[in-house]
Amino acid sequence: MKRLICYCALALIIASGCKKAPYLTYSDIARIQMADTITKSATFVFEPKTVLRDTVYIDVNTIGGITPFDRPVKFVQVPEFSVTYTRDPLTNKIIDSVVTELPFKAIPGTHYVGFDDKAVENIMVVKANEATAKIPVILLRDTSLANNSYRLHIQLVANDHFGLGEKIAKEKTIVFSDRLERFDSWRTDNYLSPAFSTFGKYSVGKHQFMIDVLRQNIDDAWYKAANSEGALRQYVIVLKQALTDFNNNADNIASGKAPIRETSSPTSPIISFP
């Protein structure tokens, strides 16, 4: 009997020691995080030249309840880096690395309205009695956007109203220009992007060809509208035939315009549609 009691006591001690630590529930203070960290693109290229500003909205979610008053949200711009690794040719182990800041960093006051500008204080808020918000980022149409795509890497910052939520949900990049850019439905060259399934690999050459043939602004709004109307497959048929006709045209071949390539480089891959 004594032996049984000892076994039971030992089992209770082991069970007590094996209890799982409670999950972090963020019930201490109100916190905020981004709804997603996917790179967002924008372009002025389809807008009249008189349009000098555009607004991109960043979705944020809060944790810890709502309040009867507006709560300000704070962004800061932070640099982006790429890392190049050198590996041992025999072991494949990393033996060195080079960290380089990405070029074309957006400049506040030139490419976007700075987050400390008084003009945006009242609109960068989570509204009263709401737990989510679309925080505006105002882009400026500087002439430099016609030549390069600029990058605005933003990060949430804790303030008097919010702590930070998940570490992996506090940063996001906006890539924008005044020339053709990938749009949200075609943001990657894989099946995570629905337009890739429809049109294949993205390239500026293909994008421009689609605009020339269909005579429409090929952007995210166009894609979603065409998809909802069930017209995408028909558009692909039209584009494939137009591409064949253009590339087989003797004048286009003689002038060097055909075949159409992904970029202006003569060694760039030839575009195609699935």
Tokens of 272: 């195609």
Would you state the pLDDT for residue 25? 52
| Contact (CB, 8 A) for 30 and 161 | yes
At residue 21, the pLDDT reads 40
With both helix axes pointing from N to C terminus, report the angle between 220-228 and 232-248 in degrees, rounded to the nearest 10. Answer: 120
Which run of H or E residues covers position 209?
helix 204-214
- Give residue limits of the domains in the chain: 29-77+103-181, 184-274
SS3 168: helix
pLDDT tens over the chain, length 274 residues = 444 444 444 444 444 444 444 434 555 789 999 999 999 999 999 999 999 999 999 999 999 999 999 999 999 999 999 898 999 898 999 989 999 999 999 999 999 999 999 999 899 999 999 999 999 999 999 999 999 999 999 999 999 999 999 999 999 999 999 999 999 999 999 999 999 999 999 999 999 999 999 999 999 999 999 999 999 999 999 999 999 999 999 999 999 999 999 998 999 999 999 9
Q: Looking at this protein, which amino acid is placed at residue 170?
A: K
Question: pLDDT at position 22, please?
Answer: 41
- CA separation, residue 230 to residues 91, 193, 214, 233 (Å): 53, 17, 16, 7
CA 18 to chain centre: 42
**pLDDT confidence of residue 126:** 98
Residue 35: partners with Cβ closer than 8 Å, 6 or more residues away? 59, 60, 61, 132, 169
Choose which CATH entry (3.30.450.20, 3.40.50.1440, 2.60.40.10, 2.60.40.2030) describes domain 29-77+103-181. 2.60.40.2030
Phi, psi of 47 (to 5 degrees): -95, 150
Name the burial class of residue 178, with classes exposed (0-12), middle (13-18) and buried (19+) by CB atoms within 10 angstroms of its CB.
Answer: buried
pLDDT of residue 12: 43
